[in-house]
Structures are given as C-alpha cells and as structure tokens.
Amino acid sequence: MKLRSVLPALALGIATLLSGRVAKAQVGLYLNPVVTRVGISTPDFGPFAFLGDNTTSRVFGGLDFGGYWDFYHQPGFHAGVDVRDTIIHGNNADLNTFSVAARISGNPVKYGIRPYAQLAVGAGRSKAPLSIVHITKAEWGLFGGLDYPLAKHVDFRVVELGYGTVTTISSQQERANTSIPAASLFNISSGLVFRFGK
C-alpha cells in the first residue's frame, strides 16, 4: 500500500477517536492582577540596569490576561493550551511577556476546586528605568493553580503560583565584557476566570 493512501486513512482514524473529546472542549478567559518578584544573582549598574543600580531583586505589579482551551479529555484529567500576556511595572522599568503553554487540569476535588499546571515558553520584552531601549528575549515558565467555581460560567482563581526566567535588558547591551544572568520571576496571581463549554 502506498504511503499517500495510508496517511489520509490514519488522519481520519485519529480524527474519529478525538472527535468526541474535542466536542467537549472548554474555554476560559481571564484578566487578573499579578505580583512578581524579579531577581538576578549579579547586581548591575548604569542606564541599562533593569532593576536599578546594584539591585538584585525588586517587586513588580501588573496584569495577567489570556485564555485556555482544554480540548482533550480523559476520565482523570483534561489537557489543552493556555495563551497569555503579562504586563508588569516596577521602579519605572517595564516587562511584557507573551507565552504559550501546554496545560493539564484535574477533575474537581474537595468543594469543586480544580487544580491545574502549565509549562510555558514565549518571549519577554523589557525596558530599564533610565533607558528608552527595549529588548526581546526568550522566556519560560511553570505555573500551577486552583480554580473554584462561583457560578455556571465564572470561576474564582483562588491562587496561581509561577516560576520562570527571562533575559532582561542589562549592561551587556552597553559593555560587551559584562555578563548578567537571566532574571528569575516568581509570580502570584488571583482573580476571575470566565469559563465556557462543557
């Protein structure tokens, strides 16, 4: 049998197996406040120092908005994707991260609370307090949280915790012999999720 005959048959078989699960897809949209501790292990100085002169950590605040799509369902878990944009500010510095995540969520546990976890990759765009220059670098993050149903289409995101890294703007842009490591990001967020679907 020729390969070009096998591939359409295989695609049709997979689509048939998944069709029942995809039909039960669930979508959630959120816009929540977020607090992030940004830290670097090596202090920086000068106009491109993202956290300010000789500072190794600072707390940023902002908004976390995006949505998830759980399209694959099994008896014990659901899987899908999450797309989000996070905009945070601190000490006149800005960080805007965009990420796409693989997401897995569990069935409701006590009081209907649903746990979830996500592994994300994306890009972060940063600007130092004393500069107008922006740079964009790769970032990754690991997130986990708990959603509690308030109504048919509204969940309360009790808490979401996250950890990730991103290379921010630094004196490396000005002094090539300077080595500043990637910044670590510790996030905490809470708010509402508007949920649609089964």
Residue 159 lies in a domain: yes
Residue 12 lies in a domain: no
Residue 44 lies in a domain: yes
pLDDT of residue 101: 98
- Could you tell me the pLDDT band of residue 6, with boundaries at 50, 70 and 90? very low
Residue 5 lies in a domain: no
Residue 173 lies in a domain: yes
Query: Total structural domains in the chain?
Result: 1
Residue 16 lies in a domain: no
pTM of the model: 0.83
Higher per-residue confidence, 175 vs 98 = 98
Higher per-residue confidence, 144 vs 11 = 144
- CA-based nearest residue to 98, from 161, 183, 162, 166: 166
- CA-based nearest residue to 128, from 178, 187, 172, 165: 172
pLDDT of residue 10: 44
- In sequence order, the 6+-apart residues with CB closer than 8 A to the CB of 82 are 66, 67, 68, 69, 100, 101, 103, 118, 120
54 pLDDT more than 80: yes
Residue 160 lies in a domain: yes
Query: How does pLDDT run across 18-45, given as a tens digit for each residue?
Result: 444 445 688 999 999 999 999 999 999 8
Query: How does pLDDT run across 93-141, given as a tens digit for each residue?
Result: 999 999 999 999 998 888 889 999 999 999 999 999 999 999 999 999 9
Exposure string for 96-124, b = 16+ CB within 10 A, e = fewer: bbbbebebbbeeeeeeeebbbebebebeb
pLDDT of residue 76: 86
60 pLDDT more than 60: yes
Give the CATH number of the domain where residue 135 resides.
2.40.160.20
C-beta neighbour count of 24 within 10 angstroms? 13
C-beta separation of 147 from 159 below 8 A: no
Residue 136's domain comprises 25-197
- Could you tell me the pLDDT band of residue 176, with boundaries at 50, 70 and 90? low
**If you average pLDDT over every residue of the chain, what do you get?**
88
In whole angstroms, give the CA distance from residue 15 to residue 125. 38
Residue 108 lies in a domain: yes
